[in-house]
Amino acid sequence: MGQFNHKDLLGIGQLSEEDIELVLDTAESLKVISARDIKKVPTLRGKSIVHFFYEPSTRTRTSFEIAAKRLSADTVSLSASTSSMVKGETLIDTARNLQAMNPDLIVLRHSSTGAPHILAREVPASIINAGDGINEHPTQALLDLFTIRERKGKIRGLKVAIIGDIAHSRVARSDILGLTKMGAQVTVAGPPTMIPVGMETLGVTVVMDPHEAVKGKDVIMLLRIQLERQSAKIFPGIREYARYFGLDRKLVSRAKKDVIVMHPGPINRGVEIIPDVADGPSSVILDQVSNGVAVRMALLYLLIGGKQSVDLD
Amino acid sequence: MGQFNHKDLLGIGQLSEEDIELVLDTAESLKVISARDIKKVPTLRGKSIVHFFYEPSTRTRTSFEIAAKRLSADTVSLSASTSSMVKGETLIDTARNLQAMNPDLIVLRHSSTGAPHILAREVPASIINAGDGINEHPTQALLDLFTIRERKGKIRGLKVAIIGDIAHSRVARSDILGLTKMGAQVTVAGPPTMIPVGMETLGVTVVMDPHEAVKGKDVIMLLRIQLERQSAKIFPGIREYARYFGLDRKLVSRAKKDVIVMHPGPINRGVEIIPDVADGPSSVILDQVSNGVAVRMALLYLLIGGKQSVDLD
Amino acid sequence: MGQFNHKDLLGIGQLSEEDIELVLDTAESLKVISARDIKKVPTLRGKSIVHFFYEPSTRTRTSFEIAAKRLSADTVSLSASTSSMVKGETLIDTARNLQAMNPDLIVLRHSSTGAPHILAREVPASIINAGDGINEHPTQALLDLFTIRERKGKIRGLKVAIIGDIAHSRVARSDILGLTKMGAQVTVAGPPTMIPVGMETLGVTVVMDPHEAVKGKDVIMLLRIQLERQSAKIFPGIREYARYFGLDRKLVSRAKKDVIVMHPGPINRGVEIIPDVADGPSSVILDQVSNGVAVRMALLYLLIGGKQSVDLD
């Protein structure tokens, strides 16, 4: 395998096209491990990985934990709610304290943009950003790219629509950065209050009408509507959102015949996606979850695997 | 060892007498591992087990985790309180998402009857029901059967009294199914509001008077009074319950001389059991806990151990 | 290595000077493991360790978990908040239940003085006190002693000032016991309401003025002000405390030139310590954290490692 010359994975913004291809190629070769009877290789034996989630997360944390264990790393899990470390302590102090225990890698999810960048500057351990505020969620974008490449054989030249709350989504931001970098054409759509000003400077097309957005597309990516964060100020209501932007079969039929439908999960059935579509033949939502484990294994391996080769025999 | 032809363990109801004997025999041969200096065999190395507890539980979760680790499986633990996966996501979606990460087995505790059955239909991973609503708690019943067989040398023909809130206890339900299937004679007793109508159709005798219930019995099984769920509607009061149904030495003396006293824990000292009895020579309460690890090891092995033989050397 | 003839580590009070030296020597030889590429030795393979924290703790729990994993032990983590075991169950019953699952060692943090002592009497597993009420926190004292010896080459004859809420600090209590036992001269300082009556009987000097306390000292140990427990009754206010007792450069300059500044963490920047000093050349605060892992590895090894030798090749 090639060389990944980064200490950390903080965002898609930092990666070159070659970097991304290396991650996807590595993930492809590691994916087979999870399909085996014995789902474990000794590659990261004796490495310590800390999962530090200031925001609650099961899906992402579980995916990272499973990835780490399939590579034989040791893991420790911290959460803000159980963490006295957080009380009255700055993030930098927390980082230095964790570092003093000599972890090889820290996976951080934090509600503040830039938190993993601060950690990365402070500590010699590798940092993976598992989501920082509304900034980036790079491992989600990489698993999305992996899934697209797996299904379509390529990314370059594909037409991708992203629908939802673009303004408040770190997933959207990382996906847009990754897709445009890999040569896809991106169109975004959503209620006006959910589309940030100046999106065009990122090289994407903005439309208001979802019918226009999905027309002729190879890929439709939906974003999760954060029901728990909903307020009257951002959009008129869930029912209105669902009626206008909710992906149903009619909307899907305007895309290419072989369109794939993606969603970072957890899905709100009947809101951003109609069950028919979520469970239909176009949906690759569960592939995304499977591929998440493979992509995270690849990143762990590339960041701290050193010169170890992976035993795939 | 024989063959356990089940993908899942959802309830005692699904098991034949031969199945139960196979579980108990396997547990007996695995029990020795926990008594060793090195409490670990490589049998389930590279297997992924997810412990998913929607209801809080320490005792059962700890028992499962220890069982998994002694067989060298990798474990990930999810709880509803820390689980964003649960937010606005149906159980089926959660199940499919978990499955996408390729676990070999999922241990589920859930407040709704039938939740593990839904999971089992949805996913190829093996499911163990660690308690669903007021329906079943089959691993508890199996460890109870193991403990009885260990102490009495048999189950068939024994006379067993179960005392407490039969109506709202999944432990009672699983124990009754297991005991009657294995040929024991079961008598249940409790306040009228705690005895469901139609118990006799399960093949058990119902009495109101605890003195009559324990008379001549080989085994007395107590159920935990759920103090936290208590309401004036179900029974007159804890003090009244303790005075009438609390197991004291006098009550024990009406059973056979070599009676054993069981309780699924945690015990309410002075409520359903008097400390003298809980700590006395008839009590096998702590044996139940020890045997819980062995029985869970057996189930993990039988469900996902494949053709692996256990190295007991 | 020598012999540690204790089943448990309950407090510094129980240890001889030789015991303490054995722990520190063992920690010194194990510290190298955490600096390696593969941070793991098979010494405690197949041993089960339960981390049972009734009080929230991230720092100490993480340190213990990492220590256990670097020695290849299996760990299970329980906390009071998620623990149904705690509901209506006495500590003794909880202990017996845990013991029934055959752990080799239980690490206990509890808000009641003496809780680990009760456990230790009840169960054959080794117990490590990870903090009990305001009584003792012996592993913190041992890592403090380790850090002092590492930096100063010795403990005997050193002059140590401890500043803060001496009365309500288990860290202070364990440190005083350890330092005086190892031949250091200890001076304590703090607001009058934070200095218990009769401190002199422990062989320490009490002063009120922090300037006097640090004068000519080799070591300054600060205690964390428990902001969350603060009440008007104990001290006038945080601002007043910081102005008078907060360790700044001027105060440090009254100590010896090569003084080291210690703090058990997490630090309250600007309260008990000024950032300049926390991050300055005298500070060994992060060494304490690193050494915490080594000292805990040493204790696990000495208590349950049996005749295993540690493979340090």
Does domain C12-137+290-304 fall under CATH 3.40.50.1370? My reply is yes
Q: Find, in chain B, the residue whose alpha carbon is nearest to that of C95.
A: B286
- Is the pLDDT at B50 greater than 80, yes or no? yes
**Among C171, C145, C186, C150, CA closest to C266:** C171
Note if B109 is an active site residue. Answer: yes
Check pLDDT > 60 for residue B85: no
| Both tokens assigned to A94 | 């927390």
| Topology of the domain comprising C138-284 | Rossmann fold (3.40.50)
Helix (H) or strand (E) holding A293: helix A285-304
Asked if B67 and B23 count as a contact pair (C-beta separation under 8 A), the reply is: no
Edge-to-edge strand list for the sheet holding C205-207 = C205-207, C185-189, C159-163, C219-222, C260-262
Residue C193: pLDDT over 90: no
* DSSP codes of every residue in C179-222: HHHTT-EEEEE--GGGS-TTGGGGT-EEES-HHHHHTT-SEEEE
Min mean pLDDT across A83-87, A240-244, A270-274, C256-260 is at: A83-87
> Given its phi and psi angles, is residue B90 left (phi above 0), alpha (psi -120 to 50 degrees) or beta?
beta
Residue A84 has pLDDT above 70, yes or no: no
State the DSSP code for B75. E
Is the sign of the CA dihedral C241, C246, C251, C252 positive or negative? positive
**From residue B180, how far is each of A144, B155, B160, B259, C269 by CA, in Å?**
53, 9, 10, 18, 66
At B83 the pLDDT is: 52
- At A77 the three-state DSSP class reads strand
CA distances from C290 to A89, C93, C312 (A): 18, 35, 18
- Interval A168-174 mean pLDDT: 96
Q: What is the pLDDT of residues C221-250, one digit of tens each?
A: 999 987 665 555 666 688 889 999 999 999
Confidence check: pLDDT of B242 > 60: yes
DSSP labels, B221-249: EE----GGG--TTT-S-HHHHHHHHSB-H
Q: Is B87 on the interface with A (CB under 8 A)?
A: yes
Beta-bridged to residue B189, according to DSSP, are B163, B207
Distance CA B143, CA B145 (A): 5
Helix or strand holding residue C260 (H, E):
strand C260-262
Q: Quick check: A287 contacting B, CB < 8 Å? A: yes
Minimum-distance CB partner of A90 among C36, C269, C286: C269
Contact A69 B88 (CB under 8 A): no
Q: Please count the other Cβ atoms lying within 10 Å of the Cβ belonging to residue B289.
A: 23
Model confidence pLDDT, tens digit, residues A201-219: 999 999 999 999 999 999 9
CA distances from C210 to A73, C161, C214 (A): 47, 9, 6
The three-state secondary structure class of C48 is: strand
Is the per-residue pLDDT at C19 higher than 70?
Answer: yes
> Strand, helix or coil at A238?
helix
Helix (H) or strand (E) holding C291: helix C285-304
Domain ranges (residues) in chain B: 12-136+290-304, 138-288
Least CB-CB distance to C88: which of B38, B268, B289? B268
* pLDDT band, very low/low/confident/very high, at A80 (cuts 50, 70, 90): low
CA B222 – CA B245 distance, rounded (Å): 10
Q: What is the pLDDT of residue B100?
A: 96
Please check whether residue A140 is in contact with residue A177, taking contact to mean a CB–CB distance below 8 angstroms.
no
Chain B residues within 8 A of A312 when measuring between CB atoms: none
* C-alpha–C-alpha distance, residues B292 and B139, integer Å: 8
What does pLDDT average to over chain C?
92
User: How are beta strands B126-132 and B74-79 bridged, if at all?
Assistant: unpaired
Report whether pLDDT(A75) > 60: yes
pLDDT of residue A228: 61
Chains in contact with A, where contact requires at least 3 CB pairs less than 8 Å apart: B, C
Contact in structure between C142 and C171 (CB atoms under 8 Å): no
Indicate the range of A138-147, B236-245, C251-260, C284-293 predicted with least confidence.
B236-245
Q: Is A51 helix (H, G, I), strand (E, B) or coil?
A: strand
What share of chain C has pLDDT > 70, as a percent?
A: 91
The pLDDT tens digits of the residues spanning B121-171 come to 999 999 999 999 999 999 999 999 999 999 999 999 999 999 999 999 999
pLDDT value of position C228 = 61
For chain C, the residue count is 313
Decide if C69 and A76 are in contact by the 8 Å CB cutoff: yes
**C-alpha to C-alpha distance for A310 and A220, rounded to whole angstroms:** 34
Q: Give me the DSSP letters along C17-29.
A: HHHHHHHHHHHHH
- What confidence tens digit (pLDDT) does each residue in B268-309 have? 999 999 999 999 999 999 999 999 999 999 999 999 997 666
Q: Does A43 touch chain C (CB under 8 A)?
A: no
> What DSSP string describes C109-124?
EESSTTHHHHHHHH-S
**How far from each other are the two terminal CA atoms of chain A, in whole angstroms?**
16
Residue A306's pLDDT is what?
A: 79
Domain B138-288: which CATH number of 3.40.640.10, 3.40.50.1370, 3.40.1160.10, 3.30.870.10: 3.40.50.1370
Using pLDDT thresholds of 50, 70 and 90, give the confidence band for residue A70.
very high
Interface test with chain B among C50, C54, C75, C82, by most B beta carbons within 10 Å: C82
User: Do C290 and A50 make contact, defined as CB atoms within 8 angstroms?
Assistant: no
Over range C76-105, report the average pLDDT.
Answer: 80
Task: Provide the 3-class DSSP secondary structure of residue C136.
Answer: strand
B167's tokens? 């109506």
What average pLDDT score do residues C131-154 get?
Answer: 97
Task: Note whether A12-136+290-304 and A138-284 share their fold.
Answer: yes
Q: Which two tokens stand for residue A135?
A: 């900034």
Mean per-residue pLDDT over chain A, rounded:
92
Cβ separation C58–A78 shorter than 8 A: yes
Determine the pLDDT at residue B306.
79
d(CA A216, CA A256): 5
The pLDDT of residue A107:
97
Q: Flag whether pLDDT at C82 surpasses 80.
A: no
Task: Using CB atoms within 10 Å of the CB of residue C221, give its burial: 0 to 12 exposed, 13 to 18 middle, 19+ buried.
Answer: buried
Q: Which pLDDT belongs to residue B235?
A: 63
Token pair in block for residue C223: 């205690």
Tokens 């979802």 belong to residue? A210
| Tens-place pLDDT, residues A183-198 | 999 999 999 989 998 8
Chain A positions touching B93 (Cβ under 8 A) are 265-267, 269
Q: What is the pLDDT of residues C248-265, one digit of tens each?
A: 999 999 999 999 999 999
CA pair distance C130, C9, nearest whole angstrom: 9
First to last CA, chain C: 16
DSSP B309: P
pLDDT of residue C79: 77
Confidence band for C3, pLDDT divided at 50, 70 and 90: confident
Predicted confidence band at B56 (pLDDT cuts at 50, 70, 90)? confident
Q: What is the pLDDT of residue A151?
A: 98
Query: Is B137 considered catalytic here?
Result: yes
What does DSSP assign to residue C14? G
| pLDDT per position as a tens digit, A225-256 | 876 655 556 666 888 899 999 999 999 999 99
Look at residue B231 and tell me whether its pLDDT is greater than 60.
no
Tokens 């206010």 identify what position? C237
- Write the pLDDT tens digit of every residue in A5-33: 999 999 999 999 999 999 999 999 999 99
Residues of A assigned a catalytic role = 59-60, 87, 109, 137
Measured between CB atoms, does C153 come within 8 Å of chain B? no
Q: What is the CATH number of domain A12-136+290-304?
A: 3.40.50.1370
Helix (H) or strand (E) holding A108: strand A105-110
Tell me the pLDDT of chain B averaged across its residues.
92
| Confidence bin at C94 (pLDDT 50/70/90) | confident
Taking an 8 Å cut-off on Cβ atoms, the answer to whether C46 and B39 are in contact is: yes
Query: What's the confidence (pLDDT) of residue C1?
Result: 52
Gap between the Cα atoms of C264 and C288, Å rounded: 7
Give yes or no for residue C86 having a pLDDT over 60: no
- In this predicted structure, what is the pLDDT of residue B299? 98
For residue range A298-309, list pLDDT tens digits in order. Answer: 999 999 997 666
Say whether A293 and B102 touch across the interface (CB within 8 A): yes
